Amino acid sequence: MLKVKSVRAGYGAIRALKGVSFHVNEGEIVTLIGANGAGKSTLLNTISGLVRSTAGEILLRDKPIHKMTPAQIVRQGISQSPEGRQVFASLSVRDNLILGAYPRMRSSTRAEIAQDLEHVEQLFPILKERDRQSAGTLSGGEQQMLAIGRSLMAKPRILLLDEPTMGLAPIITAEILKTVRRLRDEEGVTIVLIEQNARAALSIADRGYVLETGRVSLEGKVEELLENSEVKRAYLGKGYKEVWE
């Protein structure tokens, strides 16, 4: 469904992606794991059009999208919940959600948008309770739910989630990951998930890629990655014991 082919991108002299290839099939949950600074966020932002690729191509259903603007890309059905939530702090929860539907304001009726709003508020009931409150006053977990809800308002076929559990308590983390799984299982949304918590990510994903300094170093089904000694050592925190024994 989404194919990234030898994409290079960076910031001025900094080369953050040095030829990354990966793909996502329809209805899959694919996770990207890697150390800080490996280029995971850059990859998602390149797909979303915030960062321009300098080489390679990105295809959505065989159609190139890497020359499109962020607005065009989100209208193609790829929306992102960015790293660090990035909610519109001084706007109300409701307005944040409404703005999520901005890309389809012309193509959808008010009734359709109202229906989706209701759907998102069903998915995250706390957002309905807090709908008049300004987004900046929500707790971290609530802001994360808002960020995901906002990206869902665009009615994406592919949802890009950048560290949706960053800094959250284990119970909220579990709840959010359960919702991610549900989005795929019940609504068929294809998902690309970046996670620091590799174990949690691998527990809900189908396939995974490991990124190291701008390159894919490993890829495979989650079962394979979970068994891989390199992954175990570097990302699952296992193995030290075995080494020292």
Ligand X SMILES: Nc1ncnc2c1ncn2[C@@H]1O[C@H](COP(=O)(O)OP(=O)(O)OP(=O)(O)O)[C@@H](O)[C@H]1O
Binding site for ligand X (CB under 6 A): 11, 14, 16, 34, 36-42, 83
Please, which residue, 130 or 150, has the CB nearer to other proteins?
150
**Number of shown-chain residues binding other proteins (CB under 8 A):** 29
Query: Count of CB atoms within 10 A of residue 182's CB?
Result: 12
The dihedral over CA atoms of 201, 205, 210, 213, expressed in degrees to the nearest 10, equals -60
d(C-alpha 233, C-alpha 240), whole Å:
7
The dihedral over CA atoms of 65, 76, 25, 23, expressed in degrees to the nearest 10, equals 20
81 phi and psi, to 5 degrees? -105, 105
Q: How far is the CB of 13 from ligand X (least distance, A)?
A: 9
Stretch that binds other proteins, among 31-39, 66-74, 120-128, 189-197 (CB under 8 A): 66-74
Q: Which of positions 2-41 make contact with other proteins (CB under 8 A)?
A: none
Side chain identity at residue 213, one-letter code? T
Please, which residue, 155 or 207, has the CB nearer to other proteins?
155
Per-residue x/- marks for other proteins, 136-175, CB under 8 A? xx------------xx--x---------------------
d(C-alpha 93, C-alpha 244), whole Å:
51
d(C-alpha 62, C-alpha 142), whole Å:
36
Q: Is 74 in the site for other proteins (CB under 8 A)?
A: yes
Q: Is 236 in the site for other proteins (CB under 8 A)?
A: no
Distance of CA 216 to the CA centre of its chain: 17
Q: Contact, 42 vs 95, CB < 8 A?
A: no
Please, which residue, 48 or 53, has the CB nearer to other proteins?
48
90 binds, among Mg ion, other proteins, ligand X, none (CB under 5 to 8 A by kind): other proteins
Q: Is 88 in the site for other proteins (CB under 8 A)?
A: yes
d(C-alpha 83, C-alpha 41), whole Å:
7
* Residues β-bridged to residue 207: 30, 221
Q: Which of positions 66-95 make contact with Mg ion (CB under 5 A)?
A: 83
* Cα maximum dimension of the chain: 64
| Binds Mg ion by CB under 5 A, chosen from 4, 38, 41, 127 | 41
Which tokens hold the place of 181? Answer: 């799984």
Q: How far is the CB of 99 from other proteins (least distance, A)?
A: 5
Side chain identity at residue 8, one-letter code? R
Q: Is 80 in the site for other proteins (CB under 8 A)?
A: yes
Please, which residue, 30 or 154, has the CB nearer to other proteins?
154
Residues making contact with other proteins (CB under 8 A):
48, 50, 69-71, 74-75, 79-80, 82, 86-91, 95, 98-100, 102-103, 105, 134, 136-137, 150-151, 154
Residues making contact with Mg ion (CB under 5 A):
41, 83
